A and B are shown apart, each in its own frame.
Chain A
C-alpha cells in the first residue's frame, strides 16, 4: 500500500534521459573531434593560395604516378573546391569523422552490451527499441554538429584562402559528408546490435567505410572498373564533385534514409536477442 502512496511523491525527471545521457557521457569526446576537424581545416585550407601559385607544387604532382593522383583525388586540386574536396572532405576530415562515427556506432549497443552495462539499463523502464532509437538519434545529432562545424570553418576560411566555394555547394557537401558518416555509424550500430560485441560494430562500420573508399579509388583507375562506383558510398557522396558542381538533393536524402532503415534494423535485431548471453 505504501508503494502506491509513494507514487504521489513525484520529483521532476529529465526528459529523454537515454538521449541526453549520451551527451553528458561524451561531450568531451565530441569537443575533441570538433577540435580535430577544425584543426584539419585550418591546416590545409589557408595554404591553398601559396600551393596554387607555386609552380613547383604542380610539377611535383605531375611527377606522381597517375594512379596515385587518382586514388587521392588530386586530379582536381587546381581549383579551390577540388583542393578542399581532395584534402579535407575527401581525406583527413573523412577519416576523422569515419573513425568517430564507427566508434560511436559500435559503442552504442554492441560495446554497451559487451561491457555488461546494457543489461542494467534494459532492466529499467525502457524498451530495447527506445534505447536503440535514442542512441541512434544522439549519434546523428553529433555527426550533424560536426558537419555543421566543418561547414562553418570552411565558410570562415573561404575568402582568406581564396577557395571561391559557393555557399550552397558547401552546405550540400557538408550534408553529404554527414550523411556518409551517419551511414557508417548506422552500419556499426547494426553490427553491434547483431553481435552484441563492440568489435562486431567496428568491423562492419570500418569495413563499409574502407571498402567504399577502396572501390572509389579502384573505379578511378580505369573505365572497366567504374562498376565498383556503385558499391561505394564514398563515390555516391563525392563522385560528382559536389563542392564545385553542387550536391544532388536526392543523394543527400538517400544517405539519411538508408541510415534510418539500418537503425531500424538495429533496433529490431536488439529486440530479438538474448542480451549478454
Chain B
C-alpha cells in the first residue's frame, strides 16, 4: 500500500522548486550567541507528502521546527509555511498546523480530556468525537490526571493534540519517542492515513528506522546543515546489506576470488567451516543482480542477505564531510 502512495507522491512532487510547497525554507540561519544552530538550511516539502529529517542530537532539527511555528525567529533566511511567511505569522496560520514539541511538557493537574479541550478551544474546530477516536486508537485514557501518565502516554496525548483538528500540516518533533513498538506502528499508520487525506507531514527523528516506513523523503541534517535529501528508495539503494553464505565443493580462496571481484562487495572474509564448507561474510552495496548471478555457479548450503541497513548508511553520511545541498 505504501508503495502505491510513494509513486503517487513522486508525481505530485515535480522537479526543483515547487511554488505551492507546504514548507519552503530558504537559507535559514539561526545564531544563539556564539553557537550557530542552523547554517543555511534550504529544503522544500511538497503538499501531501511525508518529509523526515534525521540527525544526531543538536543537529538543528528542533530549531527548524520552532522557526516554522514562529516560536523562535531565524537570524537569516526565510521560511514559508502553507504559503505564509512564518515570521510573525498570525494565529490563522498556526490553526492550520498541528505541532508536537520534542520536549513535550504538559500541564499536570488537569485531565487529558480537559487539556485537549483547552487546545481545541484555541485552535479548533475539532470534529466531534475525533479526540475520543484518536485516544482509543492509541489506547490512551483521557480521564487520568496528566501528571500520572507515563512518558509514553503523555506522548500519545501530545500526538492527539497535534492531530485532533485535522491540520493541513503536521510538524512532529521526535514523535515516536517513548512509544512502544506496537504504538510506533499505529502511529506510522496514522501518518500514512494523514498523507492519504492530503495532509502534509514534517517529522524528525534521530534514527531512520523509526520513520523509514512512513517518509517519502528524508533530509539528513548535521551541524545545522542539510547533508543530503533523498527519497527512502534512494537511500535504500545506496544502503549496505550484510550477507553470509555457505557453499560446498569450493575452497575459501576460490570463493574469495569469485566474490572479491564483484562491484559493491566490501569487508569480505572467507573461511573454512567445521563441516569443510566455505563460508563468506561480507557487506554488499548497490544492485544485487551481479551478486546473484555470480553465486549461481555455487553449490549453496546457506544464504542470508539482510535488509538494507539504512541506519548504517545514514551514520556514514553523518561522518562524511558535508555535501553542498542540491
Q: Which A residues contact B (CB, under 8 angstroms)?
A: 1-3, 6-7, 9-11, 13-14, 17-18, 21, 24-25, 115-117, 119-127, 130, 274-277
Q: Is the CB of B97 within 8 A of A123?
A: yes
- Given the known inter-chain contacts A115-B105, A120-B105, please indicate yes or no for A275 contacting B110, CB distance below 8 A: no
CB nearest neighbor in B for A7: B125
The segment from B50-58, B86-94, B243-251 that touches chain A is B86-94
Cβ of A164 to closest chain B Cβ, rounded Å: 45
Q: Is the CB of B118 within 8 A of A17?
A: yes
17 A-B pairs (CB sep. < 8 Å): A11-B120, A11-B128, A13-B120, A13-B124, A17-B118, A17-B121, A18-B122, A24-B114, A119-B105, A120-B104, A120-B105, A120-B119, A123-B101, A125-B94, A130-B91, A277-B66, A277-B72
Alpha-carbon gap, A217 to B78, bound state (A): 55
Interface residue ranges of B159-187 to A (CB < 8 Å): 161, 166-168
Q: Which residues of A contact B71 (CB under 8 A)?
A: 119, 122-123, 274-276
CB nearest neighbor in B for A28: B109
CB nearest neighbor in A for B67: A274
- Given the known inter-chain contacts A120-B104, A124-B119, please indicate yes or no for A3 contacting B166, CB distance below 8 A: yes
CB nearest neighbor in B for A120: B101
Alpha-carbon gap, A158 to B120, bound state (A): 48
Alpha-carbon gap, A277 to B110, bound state (A): 26
CB nearest neighbor in A for B69: A123
Alpha-carbon gap, A2 to B167, bound state (A): 11
Q: Is the CB of B128 within 8 A of A277?
A: no
Cβ of A276 to closest chain B Cβ, rounded Å: 7
- Given the known inter-chain contacts A11-B126, A13-B124, A123-B71, please indicate yes or no for A21 contacting B118, CB distance below 8 A: yes
Alpha-carbon gap, A274 to B198, bound state (A): 31
CB nearest neighbor in B for A128: B70
Cβ of B273 to closest chain A Cβ, rounded Å: 57
Alpha-carbon gap, A269 to B103, bound state (A): 24
Cβ of B234 to closest chain A Cβ, rounded Å: 30
CB nearest neighbor in A for B93: A125
